[in-house]
Amino acid sequence: MKDRSKEDEVADININTVNKYFGDVHVIKDVSLDIKSQSFTVLVGPSGCGKSTMLRMIAGLEDINSGTISIDGQVVNDLPPKQRNIAMVFQSYALYPHMTVFDNMAFGLKLEKRSKDEINERVNEAARILQIEDYLKRKPKQLSGGQRQRVAIGRAITRKPKVFLFDEPLSNLDAALRVQMRVELAKLHNELEATMIYVTHDQTEAMTLADDIVVLDTGIVSQKGSPLQLYDKPNNMFVGGFIGSPKMNFISSKITSKSGNATEVDLMGMSKITVPKMSASSSEGDAVTLGIRPEHVLVNQDSDGTWESKVFVVEKLGSGTFLYLEKDGEPLVAETEGHSDIKVGDTVKVGFPSNRCHLFDSSNQAFK
Amino acid sequence: MKKISLPSIFSQLLLLFFVLIWIIPTFGLFISSLRDKDLLAISGWWTSLTTTKVNEIYRMAGMENQIKEGDFFIIKGKLFDSNSGKKIQSFGITSKRINEFAVDDIAILKDDSFVTVNEDGEYILKSEKEFSKKKGKRLFITALSPPAFTFDNYREVLFKEGIGRAFINTMAVALPSTLIPLIICSFFAYALTWMKFFGRDTLLAIIIASLVVPLQMSLIPILTIYNDFGALFGVAAKSYPGVWMAHTGFGLASTTFLLRNFLKSLPNEMMEAAKVDGATHYDIFLRIILPLSVPAFASIFILQFLWCWNDLLVGLVFLDQVPSEIILTAKLKELLGSRGENWEILTTGAFVSMTVPLFIFFALQRYFIRGLVAGSVKG
């Protein structure tokens, strides 16, 4: 067991070189992960990246072809879900339609043959936490989407598992409710002090909820780290593009010179910029990609590197304005203040602060 | 307000047409089964619904009923039971002129006696001479007869002709023949849908393939096997357990297939949630699948029960044609041969055999429709 955490905390879940095939398709490729006890870990990635499969393997709903998954030091590869001390919340809620909310939440406890008092106590406790005490006698079809999702979470809570698994639990909810439930999930995590693993394709959910984000890309772990680590120091172009909204701008470029710990690149032939990042394997003349987030692009301000461009689309959001620019076939999105006078057709000067720039080499790996 | 368009009118008319096509014979059979057997032979069932004019012949009482009252010898009597509601309009004393006299007229007979007839069938025959004939005189009446129905046919058919016993026999065949495959197919369909095991898809393919095996093809081979098997244990090949097994075998493929299609439509995540909750397959089956499948079970029960109830072939092959084993359809077929002239027996027998399908249809019609579309439409 690797001991890389600051405190002497035992990793609750160890995933060790796990592989999974669906027929001939290799969906999980040698994935290794340590998930700390009581952490909130979000598995994020585009659809088809294997994040749900990963979760289902932890839950025991999917066989593992090779490698091991252990929970609390115990290898659980061959254990059925109920012996893994986990609970799972599904995207479609997966409530039992013929049972009342109470029975839905008590189902697992009844199967464990708990006493009636204990069942009552635990269900009522969960209902109190989730504020669904008034609906206990209703059937799922009499509830709204948000209430159903609460019941589904309640069903997980009552069993007091060591690990909660969430499979895109908020995807079926409307935008407003999603934000509300997101906050409540964060509160719930604080309250329950349990390990939570959460799968989503929505990077906003990942950023807001996670202690640790694991970005998965076609079956491999692209990067693991805290939300801000991923935001500030993406390991590769995929993570850089995936985290943040709107997406990071990528501009094709070329290394013009290298110095000790900085790399100078060409900006569309209009200017040069020295980025304080290095890669040992790169050399002068190599093609690289310069990445910069829209919120870091300076509009009509002097900066380390600048260029001028025409505005094609203006999106006013109130809190900010997004400008869609294009220069010689290279699109660029820039964010400026909410009450901007810039109109479509205007020519603006955009500046690139060098310490906000990222560089990626031809194999999409980031310069450090 | 509903929009009236040509296609909708057409479809409504078509619906009406089919309803009539179905209702009229059923209703006719029902009315016929309630009619007097003599009337049934001479007039259609629709004539019995309204007041009709009937011509009837009665014979008055003979000499032994006469009493002397003053100077006259009198015979009093009733032509028919006044409960029948018939009302006499006119009467006659010869077959040539049956409408010769109105009610309350005095008709003078050949022997100088005279007769009066009341509306309700009471008559008074008076004569100065003593009546000397044993046989009474004939009276021809024309009367208005209101609709009249009787359960006599049912009494006869159920208790004398053996239809009642055959009804019970058919129940004894159809109920187990429905419940046994239903129990087996519920477990079977669950395993086919939600359990992973080697050869599952092959098994399903075999089931689908066996749906198209004609029943007629396998009847005799199976009976032969029964015979050999029965001989081995010294029991009769033709018996109730035999017919139950036959129906179970023939029905199992289709019931399993229908139920599997229904189970397949239940969300996978629900089963997984139950598994995570700690449910075994048995728990999932009992606590989740069974309660949710009640409509599907009802549909399949109806289809299989009606199939067994209306079956003739299997019942003929696998049961002896003795009173303790003969089923309704076979009994009706037998009656058709032996009592082909007796319409009251055939119509009544036929209606008795229809009662159960009709009851099931009306009581469970919403499941009926779901059963027919099972698998094609979700839920």
- CB contact under 8 Å between A108 and B269, yes or no, is no
pLDDT-based confidence at residue A210 (cuts at 50, 70, 90): very high
Answer yes or no: do B34 and B116 share one domain. Answer: no
Q: Over 80: is that where the pLDDT of B188 sits?
A: yes
Residue B132 belongs to domain spanning: 51-146
Answer yes or no: do B233 and B309 share one domain. Answer: yes
Q: For residue range A79-115, what is the model confidence (pLDDT) as tens digits? A: 988 888 899 999 888 899 889 999 999 999 999 999 9
Tell me what ipTM this predicted complex has: 0.82
- CB contact under 8 Å between B273 and A94, yes or no, is yes
Q: Over 60: is that where the pLDDT of B373 sits?
A: no
Note the pLDDT of residue A167.
Answer: 92
pLDDT-based confidence at residue A285 (cuts at 50, 70, 90): confident
pLDDT-based confidence at residue B44 (cuts at 50, 70, 90): confident
Total number of domains in chain B? 3
Q: Over 90: is that where the pLDDT of B186 sits?
A: yes
- CB contact under 8 Å between B287 and A88, yes or no, is no
Answer yes or no: do B37 and B117 share one domain. Answer: no
- Nearest by CB to residue B288, choosing from A60, A90, A96, is A96
Q: Is residue B377 part of a domain?
A: no
Pick the residue of A52, A82, A85, A104 with the most B CBs within 10 A to test the interface with B by mutation.
A82
Q: For residue range B98-127, what is the model confidence (pLDDT) as tens digits? A: 777 888 788 887 777 888 888 887 888 888
- Where residue B357 falls (left for φ over 0; alpha for ψ -120 to 50; beta otherwise) is alpha
Q: Is residue B271 part of a domain?
A: yes
pLDDT-based confidence at residue B273 (cuts at 50, 70, 90): very high
The nearest CA of chain A is from the CA of B372 a distance in Å of 24
Answer yes or no: do B159 and B271 share one domain. Answer: yes
Q: Are A332 and A249 in contact (CB under 8 A)?
A: yes
Is residue B276 within 8 angstroms of chain A, CB to CB?
A: yes
Of residues A11 and A343, more confidently modeled: A343
Answer yes or no: do B183 and B110 share one domain. Answer: no
Q: Which helix (H) or strand (E) holds A228?
A: helix A227-232
Note the pLDDT of residue B244.
Answer: 93
Q: Are A143 and A101 in contact (CB under 8 A)?
A: yes
pLDDT-based confidence at residue A5 (cuts at 50, 70, 90): very low
Average pLDDT, chain B: 85
Q: For residue range B285-308, what is the model confidence (pLDDT) as tens digits? A: 999 999 888 888 988 998 899 999
Q: What is the share, in percent, of chain A residues with pLDDT greater than 70?
A: 97
Note the pLDDT of residue B172.
Answer: 94
Q: For residue range B254-266, what is the model confidence (pLDDT) as tens digits? A: 999 999 998 998 8
Answer yes or no: do B194 and B268 share one domain. Answer: yes
Q: Is residue B379 part of a domain?
A: no
Answer yes or no: do B201 and B298 share one domain. Answer: yes
Answer yes or no: do B169 and B300 share one domain. Answer: yes
For chain A, which residues lie within 8 Å of any Cβ of chain B, measuring from their own Cβ?
59-61, 80-82, 86-88, 90-92, 94-98, 107-108, 111-112, 152, 155, 159
- CB contact under 8 Å between B275 and A95, yes or no, is no
Q: Are B150 and B83 in contact (CB under 8 A)?
A: no
Q: Is residue B1 part of a domain?
A: no
Over range B123-134, report the average pLDDT.
Answer: 81
Whole-number Å distance between alpha carbons of A285 and A361 = 12
Spell out which residues of chain A touch residue B270, defining contact as CB-CB under 8 Å: 94-96
Over range A265-272, report the average pLDDT.
Answer: 78
Over range A146-174, report the average pLDDT.
Answer: 89
pLDDT-based confidence at residue A338 (cuts at 50, 70, 90): confident
Over range A240-268, report the average pLDDT.
Answer: 86
Of residues B83 and A136, more confidently modeled: A136
Answer yes or no: do B120 and B166 share one domain. Answer: no
Spell out which residues of chain B touch residue A87, defining contact as CB-CB under 8 Å: 276-277
Note the pLDDT of residue A9.
Answer: 43
Answer yes or no: do B225 and B251 share one domain. Answer: yes
Domain boundary among B110, B129, B146: B146
Residue type, A314: V
Is residue B369 within 8 angstroms of chain A, CB to CB?
A: no
Over range B305-313, report the average pLDDT.
Answer: 92
Which domains does chain A possess?
11-237 (3.40.50.300), 249-360 (2.40.50.140)
Note the pLDDT of residue B3.
Answer: 66
Q: Is residue B140 part of a domain?
A: yes
Q: Is residue B221 part of a domain?
A: yes
Note the pLDDT of residue B372.
Answer: 55
Note the pLDDT of residue B371.
Answer: 57
Domain boundary among B16, B33, B48: B48
Q: For residue range B149-184, what is the model confidence (pLDDT) as tens digits? A: 888 888 888 888 888 999 999 999 999 999 999 999
Q: Is residue B91 part of a domain?
A: yes
What CATH number is attached to the domain comprising B358?
1.10.3720.10
Note the pLDDT of residue B2.
Answer: 59
Answer yes or no: do B59 and B44 share one domain. Answer: no
Spell out which residues of chain A touch residue B276, defining contact as CB-CB under 8 Å: 59-61, 81-82, 86-88
Q: Is residue B378 part of a domain?
A: no
Note the pLDDT of residue B370.
Answer: 63
pLDDT-based confidence at residue A307 (cuts at 50, 70, 90): confident
Answer yes or no: do B266 and B280 share one domain. Answer: yes
Q: What is the share, in percent, of chain B residues with pLDDT greater than 70?
A: 96
Q: Over 90: is that where the pLDDT of A215 sits?
A: yes
Is residue B71 within 8 angstroms of chain A, CB to CB?
A: no
The nearest CA of chain B is from the CA of A175 a distance in Å of 23
Note the pLDDT of residue B50.
Answer: 79
Note the pLDDT of residue B170.
Answer: 94
